[in-house]
């Protein structure tokens, strides 16, 4: 990479402000669009079991394009890759507004999101350096968390007012992200001239997969994070059906408020993990993983709002405490073996595969008529047992 890339390494350079703004608007629209589209499906009388299928087509795009998106991000100016990805998201959101099947529109959004992910993180190292890079990552994560909280709530609240207005706001937010992307300086491609042949691209990716999945430490981390994010996305859809059954509330906003409590808890738990756990003491996070499942069991049995909000906050805290150390372990070990970028790509594949599997099982359970409270209790119990088994396996491996 040429030295001219770092035209201004300030944490608040024009380029960095544009990246953070684009990330906020794009992630805001992602989260608002999910709940707005779910509200549209409810309005159009789609069956309940089809709701998680919406997320499955989104996740499927991540899995399908996993071997290629990293090279795409490195072969072109990353700001332009981000802009192209947001254009795809805008087309997807606009198509839903204009009556295209929501599954088709949301698939386009998923393709855009898959291309966007490696570019948004990769560009940080091109806009700033040294200690500021850590702070830049912190800004990116803060922007993402804020967008998840505000986007989820906005999607539900606006959909209660007018579904088409909610979808329109999502499209406008994507358009705003595209404008912000245009403001990012056009930086040289990190690795131009790479081979675009299918076989070498896939071979390189799956070689990294094999290396990380055969290493005991990185496999331990991959299984744990995949279980966590698979469970997290399933819980998001569980809430949509659980709220009217358990609380008797039929609006679109309440499930988004409950989701926001989980996100707040994750921030608190992540902060606690950073202070209390090191790479040498990663196993300390495992009891928190078991408590996530136990918390979901108790949550599913609630019939009043206050305990439900409290339990979801605790589930989020346990989640942040559980997943942050496992992420750190994978990034550290991955950097020393296949490279940090490849490690993240492999992790994305594992997590999205777990999401696809868990959402499929959840959709099947709803389709065959399992009561939603029973689905929640079973889901929490199975998750707790899975984490307990992972913990025991990890202890035996060390012994």
Contact 247, 304 (CB under 8 A): yes
Please give the Cα distance from 234 to 156 (Å, whole number). Answer: 18
Intervals of CATH 1.20.1250.20 along the chain: 1-187, 208-399
**Is it the case that residue 380 has pLDDT exceeding 90?**
yes
- pLDDT tens-digit series, residues 49-90: 998 999 899 989 888 887 887 777 777 888 888 999 999 999
Per DSSP, the residues of 177-235 read HHHHHHTS--PPPSSTT----HHHHHHHHHHHHHHHHHSHHHHHHHHHHHHHHHHHHHH
Q: Residue 172's pLDDT band (boundaries 50, 70, 90)?
A: very high
Q: Kindly tell me the burial class for residue 234, based on how many C-beta atoms sit within 10 Å of its own C-beta (0-12, 13-18, 19 or more).
A: buried
Give pLDDT, residue 3. 38
Top pLDDT among 341 and 2 is at 341
Class of domain 208-399: mainly alpha
- Other CB atoms closer than 10 Å to residue 393's CB: what's the count? 13
Contact 28, 155 (CB under 8 A): no
CA 194, 134, 29, 83 dihedral sign is negative
Q: Residue 4's pLDDT band (boundaries 50, 70, 90)?
A: very low
Query: What average pLDDT score do residues 344-369 get?
Result: 90
Q: Which of 156, 252, 212, 242 is nearest to 350 (CA)?
A: 212
Contact 287, 268 (CB under 8 A): no
Tokens describing residue 19: 């990246």
List Cα–Cα distances, 385 to 139, 171, 195, 351, in angstroms.
35, 41, 44, 19
Question: Residue 88 gets which letter from DSSP?
Answer: H
List Cα–Cα distances, 124 to 85, 278, 326, in angstroms.
17, 25, 22
Contact 223, 347 (CB under 8 A): no
Q: Residue 1's pLDDT band (boundaries 50, 70, 90)?
A: very low
- pLDDT tens-digit series, residues 194-220: 667 778 778 878 888 899 899 888 888
Query: What average pLDDT score do residues 236-248 get?
Result: 93
Please give the Cα distance from 276 to 271 (Å, whole number). Answer: 9
Give pLDDT, residue 373. 95
Regarding the domain with residue range 1-187, which homologous superfamily does it belong to in the CATH classification? MFS general substrate transporter like domains (1.20.1250.20)
Tokens describing residue 52: 């998680």
Question: Residue 283 gets which letter from DSSP?
Answer: G
pTM of the complete model: 0.82
Please give the Cα distance from 273 to 275 (Å, whole number). Answer: 5
Contact 296, 348 (CB under 8 A): no
Tokens describing residue 376: 């929640």
Tokens describing residue 299: 């949550």
């Amino acid at each position: 990479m040429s030295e001219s890339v770092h035209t201004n390494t300030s944490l608040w350079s024009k380029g960095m402000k544009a990246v953070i703004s684009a990330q906020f608007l794009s992630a805001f629209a992602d989260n608002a669009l999910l709940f707005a589209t779910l509200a549209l499906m409810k309005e159009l009388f789609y069956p309940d079991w089809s709701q998680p299928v919406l997320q499955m087509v989104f996740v499927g795009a991540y899995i399908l394009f996993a071997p290629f998106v990293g090279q795409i991000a490195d072969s072109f100016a990353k700001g332009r890759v981000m802009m192209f990805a947001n254009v795809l998201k805008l087309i997807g959101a606009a198509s839903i507004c204009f009556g295209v099947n929501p599954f088709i529109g949301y698939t386009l959004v998923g393709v855009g999101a898959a291309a966007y992910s490696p570019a948004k993180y990769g560009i940080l190292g091109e806009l700033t350096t040294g200690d500021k890079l850590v702070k830049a990552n912190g800004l990116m994560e803060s922007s993402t968390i804020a967008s998840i909280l505000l986007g989820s709530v906005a999607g539900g609240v606006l959909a209660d007012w007018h579904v088409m207005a909610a979808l329109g706001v999502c499209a406008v937010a994507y358009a705003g992200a595209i404008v912000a992307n245009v403001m990012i300086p056009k930086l040289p491609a990190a690795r131009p001239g790479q081979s675009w042949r299918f076989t070498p691209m896939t071979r390189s990716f799956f070689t990294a997969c094999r290396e990380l999945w055969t290493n005991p430490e990185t496999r331990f981390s991959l299984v744990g994070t995949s279980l966590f994010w698979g469970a997290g996305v399933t819980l998001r859809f569980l809430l949509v059906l659980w709220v009217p059954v358990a609380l008797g509330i039929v609006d679109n906003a309440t499930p988004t408020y409950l989701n926001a409590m989980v996100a707040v808890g994750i921030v608190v738990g992540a902060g606690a993990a950073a202070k209390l756990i090191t790479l040498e003491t990663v196993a300390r996070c495992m009891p928190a993983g078991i408590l996530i499942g136990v918390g979901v069991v108790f949550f599913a049995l609630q019939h009043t709002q206050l305990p439900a909000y409290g339990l979801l906050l605790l589930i989020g805290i346990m989640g942040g405490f559980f997943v942050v150390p496992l992420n750190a372990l994978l990034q550290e070990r991955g950097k020393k073996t296949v490279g940090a970028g490849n490690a993240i790509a492999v992790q994305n594949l594992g997590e999205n595969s777990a999401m696809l599997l868990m959402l499929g099982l959840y959709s099947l359970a709803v389709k065959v008529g399992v009561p939603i409270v029973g689905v929640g209790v079973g889901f929490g119990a199975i998750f707790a047992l899975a984490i307990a088994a992972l913990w025991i396996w990890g202890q035996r491996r060390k012994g």
